[in-house]
Amino acid sequence: MIASLDVIKSLFVICPRFVQKLDEAAVQKVFLKSLDNYIKWCSYLCIQPVWSNFEDLSKEKKLLFVSLYFLIWGEAANVRFLPECLCYIFHHMVREMDGMLRQQIAQPAKSCDSNSENGVSFLDQVITPLYDVVAARELAPKPSAGVVLLSLHCFELSWPWRMTSSFFQRPKPRTKYLLTTAGSQRRGKTSFVEHRTFLHLYHSFHRLWIFLVMMFQGLTVIAFNDGKFNSKTLREILSLGPTFAVMKFIESVLDVIMMYGAYSTSRRLAVTRIFLRFVWFSCASVFLSFLYVYMLFWLVVLSGKFSFAYFLQIKPLVKPTRIIVHMTDNLKYSWHDLVSKNNHNALTVATLWAPVIAIYLLDIHVFYTIISAIWGFLIGAKDRLGEDTLEKRKIDAVIFGPFWNEIIRNLREEDYVTNLEMELLLMPKNSGNLPLVQWPLFLLASKIFLAKDMVEGSDSQAELWERISRDDYMKYAVEEGYQALRFILTEILEGEGRMWVERVYADIEGSIANRSIHVDFQLKKLSLVITRVTGLLGILKAEKPDQENGAIQAVQDLYDVVRHDVLSVNMREHYETWNLLSKARSEGRLFTNLKWPRDTELKTQIKRLYLLLTIKDSAANVPKNIEARRRLQFFTNSLFMDLPAPKPVREMLSFSVFTPYYSEIVLYSMNELQKKNEDGISTLFYLQKIYPDEWKNFLDRIGCDENAPDSELINNPDDKLELRIWASYRGQTLARTGKGRSSFLMLAFTDLLALSGLLVSSLEEIVRGMMYYRKALMLQSYLERVASGDAEAAVSINDTNDAKGFDLSPEARALADLKFTYVLTCQIYGKQKEDRKPEAADIALLMQRNEALRVAFIDEVESLKDGKVHREYYSKLVKADINGKDKEIYSVKLPGNPKLGEGKPENQNHAIIFTRGNAIQTIDMNQDNYFEEALKMRNLLEEFHQDHGIRPPTILGVREHVFTGSVSSLASFMSNQETSFVTLGQRVLANPLKVRMHYGHPDVFDRVFHITRGGISKASRVINIRFNSTLRQGNVTHHEYIQVGKGRDVGLNQIAVFEGKVSGGNGEQVLSRDVYRLGQLFDFFRMMSFYFTTVGYYFCTMLTVLTVYIFLYGKAYLALSGVGEQVENRALITKNNALSAALNTQFLFQIGIFTAVPMVLCFILELGFLRAVVNFITMQLQLGSVFFTFSLGTKSHYFGRTILHGGARSAVGLWLYLGFLLPICSIHLDLSGKRQWRTSGIGQIGFFTEVELGLRDKKVGRLVTLLGSVVPLAIIRCSLAYPINENKGQHQAHIRTLSGRIMETLLSLRFFIFQYGVVYKLHIQGSDTSLTVYGFSWIVLAVLIILFKVFTFSQKVSVNFQLLLRFVQGVSFMLALAGIVIAVALTELSIASAWKPVIKRMGLWKSIRSIARLYDAGMGMLIFIPIAFFSWFPFVSTFQTRLMFNQAFSRGLEISLILAGNNPNTGI
């Protein structure tokens, strides 16, 4: 590690006797960085480090300390997640080592000596006891080991371990449920308990809520005083003081409540400091906030938010509130009022203010979204993202050429470009005799013809050259054509022929100098010259010397055209020369001495000039492949961004790449490729049709005829392997359902959505992408050595831009291996080898094809010990030897099964000891890398040395490109959403907000910083985002000049699973101590940044859904109580516009459209304005809003349910049902004869307004009232995602506890509002509003249940009285029709679901379940009948297919062949 530091230049000081000596500064830098966490641990505990004086430490002692620490770390296994444990062990073992050094006697350490026949074992005596503690805490709630070691009481554990300590006592195992439910017992926590409650949001971010509440109170006071500032206003504003005191008191009470369950181990100091720290945090956060730029950002956000709140929310409601409050005697309620009538219409006022308050809490996130999008847009524009500027600064083509050419060759190897496109894209050597820079031909294509056309419209030389110079590449093309033709003719002609060439060019240059080119030459005849030159070059490039006579004739034709048609210059000045040339031409000896081109450079120039004069396609069409064009465009644009200057490869930071693998596809087998589904479509056929151009390029690359049968390809072993690799690289977009059945022909509604894809990445694809790092380093080091004149270089200095064979240079390979390590953590590779699974063979093949690839895995060894099976676990690292066999490099024994927490973090943790270098990049199985991006890795690593604020960077964020967005509309929606976040969103999080966290892959970590602070992974099973770097004073940055590919699961179910995982993880974060600590320790503005970009985003998402419900329930209250109609009539009579506006506040919900601003600005920045507008409109036509409604509901469901009850199950089908149902029903028929649009914001929920509209006509009102009260129940019931179905019991896991049942019951009680209101609206007893009317509805409910029991009476029991039973059922059916209104009582079904055990014991469960199924079936028929009807029409199906696969159509996908199952590949 020392040798890899940036001080490598001064690392080895050469002494006079040529003895290498370690540099003191390098050792000290490694020492301080490696033991920084230990030093901070000692400082936190107020203890002295093991050294008394740092200055007295010798260089050798420092090396010993660092070595000891990493030896401890290397064998610590799962204890590596607990860095304070490592500090404690190191603290004591250093003392032991010092004692041994002083005694100068080699003896075993006492802490590792077992005093038994087992001998000395650090693993058994030190690590295993800690491992047992950690493993036990995964099975039972106990104090966190890391927290215990953060207090001085940790020294009670003594050294060696005092095994009788309570710390080492094993607790009782907990239940099989991993996630703690609301009713679980919590005991033994130290200072923080994860109670499942939304109060954590207030507990962790109380300063935000206090600020919002006080601002709302202040703005309301000002609004109710009509904006006047007088003594009355001032006195009322002073009421903010008690509000602040009360809310701070609530925070203190929550501190005590949240520690409930921790008092048994809490110290008096921990409880006392709760009440002392608030003053410090409040004062310090305000002061510190003014030191940072992000204060300005939040001042802009808050200014917009509070202006909107005051002028559009609070102030417009002041006058209507006053009017409604004074309507005490004249309002008549339609039902039996219990609260509002005698309390100044309190509930009516609440229905007006409740949505406003909800939006007040919500809109700050909307304003943050808008401002952050604009800010990110401006930063991106400043960083030159998306620019297509031709040349902003001169790039040395000689240096850049080899890199560009290698990029193009890799694109050809990946089959993205054809051979012709490769020739057009390659950059010439620029080492020849031409006095100019030659650019790739695709930039100069067709420019000569455009310049020729300009000649005809120009009257002067200055005008012509000015027009040509407007296009830089047209200018380059003209100059190159002029110089290249001179060079070619001069080389192939001798004697008089060369004299003619020199004379013509001298006359041309003289005319240009005299500005008389239009006079001396007939430029309109240039087309003839181009024709003759093209003919000559066509003969010369054929490389057939027997055509020399034809070449001579072609030169003579060129001479005749120039002499007689073009040349108008005065020949008298050079009469003798022209006379000699004319005589030679007439005698036929002018061009007889033609030399056939044999020089390589000359032949290259001939071929290049021929292409320059014949290719008429523009550069916009090269390359034709969209992916190749996108990659090249991003790479060239990134070169103009602000990249740090890279160091030479020898001096750069070394790094490792990490990829966790479990059992995903490594390489597609031929059986998998040939296997056909029931529609006759094979995977290979699908790939051929979805990538037709790449398939054609592949066949061309391996030399196979495009029209040859596929059997020839498969019979060749080499071609067969290449075919498997080609398919594996493109397997990430294969569409399949959850059961594995290809769904090309599915026409069902949900299956069409599932068609959009399930990500199937192959390991071969990942390895190829990551090994580009090594290839890039080999190329860079090779060219550096060549450019420096290294005598050992294999090529001449004149060929510095020709890098062919660089990968064969031993020096380049050795240096690349020194700087780069790739570790594949195949956790079960040993088990796969044992079972002889094909995955193991494919992984072995990968190691053979990539000599630098290392595979780490867990080897499980079983042995008999005392008659019992004993298992031992080892972390092993292997590579392929020269014979292709696995060669073991390292084997480290583990204390037990390493998988205690989440699989992926544990997989990474066991193998991290095999990584090397200063940095480590984490790459997941859904990612890819590109060679051109690997070239910029040196630049990225230099960011660790750049100034990014107070602290140096510890994590470098990298831009991601989602490459799975072109399969279908669903894939496009998810891709656009993800792209917006990983570019514009993270750009703002990093700068200026400084709250970007480690969101996962492909971040680059400061390896030493993280391995000494718990590693790079979060061991928790449920928390996805790792805050450890920020909590430990790290700095996370984001950089967009480099990117990696990223695939997303784009099937509907997979999207829901992914969003559920992230939302559930954020729900768990709300309860975590990490979020609490960050919420308390950040200054105020950074705390707001952190909140609204993590858990606050999901809370605002959930609040969006709740706001719609609050608004609609308020409207339902106004309609059912009769107050809304009366107030609206009075407003119309009195022409009170303010009151009418207050009753129609639907416009407030339209602010949700602004959440699309980031995506639109991201489109504009990346694609340009016009394409951005087209993409956005296309997305709306593809019903993108429906998808985002589905996404919104999924996030809300998982987030809220996880906080209240723990891990949530899938709610895909139900939110799909809701998401597609709501927008359909946005048009409503007013019974008074008016047709109008009613929009209720997110989802456009229009059913509830039917309740209000239906009550205006008494004749039809009862039916509409019934429908308006039943239909919302379907929506609500779907949104809750609690189906009453025993086969779907996983959806009801949260109501297995008493608290869950109580919560479900309380939520379901809201349905009684509709039952209560509808009963009175039926006017069963006229205008009577007594409670007797409501009680009658319960009687009818009981009758309904009895009727249902009659209809479901067992036929076996009723054999003897069938006639009587039929009669009773007939009468009952008639009565049921008359009393159908009581169907509204179905609202109690959710309560029945919550108390399922009780209902079962009462014998009513089957009846209630049957009613629920009948209800679901009926509502499903009503909703899907229109869809079924439209599906009968062919044009609807065609339109739908076009919408779904728009991106695929745009790139030429033959979707019709796939959908029709027309598979011509019968030979496979």
Residue range 1047-1068, pLDDT digits in tens: 776 677 778 888 888 888 888 8
3-state DSSP of 1167-1180: HCHHHHHHHHHHHH
Is the pLDDT score of 1031 beyond 60? yes
* C-alpha span between 1247 and 1278 (Å, rounded): 14
- Asked whether the beta carbons of 628 and 622 are under 8 A apart, the reply is no
Q: Sort residue 515 into left (φ over 0), alpha (ψ -120 to 50) or beta.
A: left
Is the pLDDT score of 279 beyond 70? no
Q: How many CB atoms lie within 10 A of CB 753?
A: 23
- % of the chain residues with pLDDT over 70: 73
Residue of 961, 955, 945 lying closest to 1004 (CA atoms): 955
pLDDT digits (tens, 9 = 90+) for 179-209: 444 344 434 445 567 777 888 888 889 889 9
Return the bridge partners of 521, or none.
567
pLDDT digits (tens, 9 = 90+) for 476-510: 999 989 999 999 999 888 888 888 888 888 888 88
**Tokens 């901070």 found at:** 40
Task: With cut-offs at 50, 70 and 90, classify the pLDDT of residue 1214.
Answer: very low
- What CA–CA distances, in Å, run from 1220 to 514, 726, 1130, 1424, 1431? 75, 39, 38, 10, 16
Cβ-based burial of 51 (10 A; exposed 0-12, middle 13-18, buried ≥19): middle
Task: With cut-offs at 50, 70 and 90, classify the pLDDT of residue 1338.
Answer: confident
* C-alpha span between 750 and 1377 (Å, rounded): 34
Q: Name the pairing type of β-strands 955-962 and 886-894.
A: unpaired
pLDDT at 1243: 30
Task: With cut-offs at 50, 70 and 90, classify the pLDDT of residue 33.
Answer: very high
**Tokens 């074992």 found at:** 121
pLDDT digits (tens, 9 = 90+) for 933-946: 999 999 999 999 99
3-state secondary structure of 1466: coil
Task: With cut-offs at 50, 70 and 90, classify the pLDDT of residue 956.
Answer: very high
pLDDT at 632: 92
pLDDT at 195: 77
- Asked whether the beta carbons of 1239 and 1233 are under 8 A apart, the reply is no
Q: What angle do CA 504, 509, 513 make, to 5 degrees?
A: 145
Higher pLDDT: 871 or 148? It is 871
Q: Sort residue 708 into left (φ over 0), alpha (ψ -120 to 50) or beta.
A: beta
- What CA–CA distances, in Å, run from 181 to 188, 1039, 1202? 17, 41, 10
pLDDT at 1179: 79
Task: Reply yes or no: is the peptide bond before residue 810 cis, omega within 30 of 0.
Answer: no
Higher pLDDT: 344 or 191? It is 344
* C-alpha span between 377 and 364 (Å, rounded): 20
Task: With cut-offs at 50, 70 and 90, classify the pLDDT of residue 5.
Answer: low
Least confident of 756-765, 903-912, 1330-1339: 756-765
Q: How many CB atoms lie within 10 A of CB 90?
A: 23
pLDDT digits (tens, 9 = 90+) for 617-630: 766 688 889 899 99
- Tokens at residue 1270, please? 């039943």
Report the pLDDT averaged over residues 1415-1433.
74
N residues, the chain:
1468
* C-alpha span between 79 and 72 (Å, rounded): 10
Cβ-based burial of 784 (10 A; exposed 0-12, middle 13-18, buried ≥19): middle
Q: How many CB atoms lie within 10 A of CB 820?
A: 26
pLDDT digits (tens, 9 = 90+) for 157-182: 888 888 888 788 766 554 443 344 43
Instruction: Looking at 654-762, list the stretches that DSSP marks H as alpha helix, in order from N- to C-terminal side.
Output: 670-674, 683-690, 692-701, 710-715, 717-729, 749-754
Report residue 1313: phi and psi, to 5°. Answer: -60, -45
Task: With cut-offs at 50, 70 and 90, classify the pLDDT of residue 64.
Answer: very high
Least confident of 16-20, 311-315, 395-399: 16-20
Half-sphere CA count of 360, side-chain side, radius 13 A? 25
pLDDT at 746: 30
Residue of 436, 376, 465, 475 lying closest to 1093 (CA atoms): 376
**Tokens 């196979």 found at:** 704
* C-alpha span between 294 and 1085 (Å, rounded): 7
Q: How many CB atoms lie within 10 A of CB 924?
A: 18
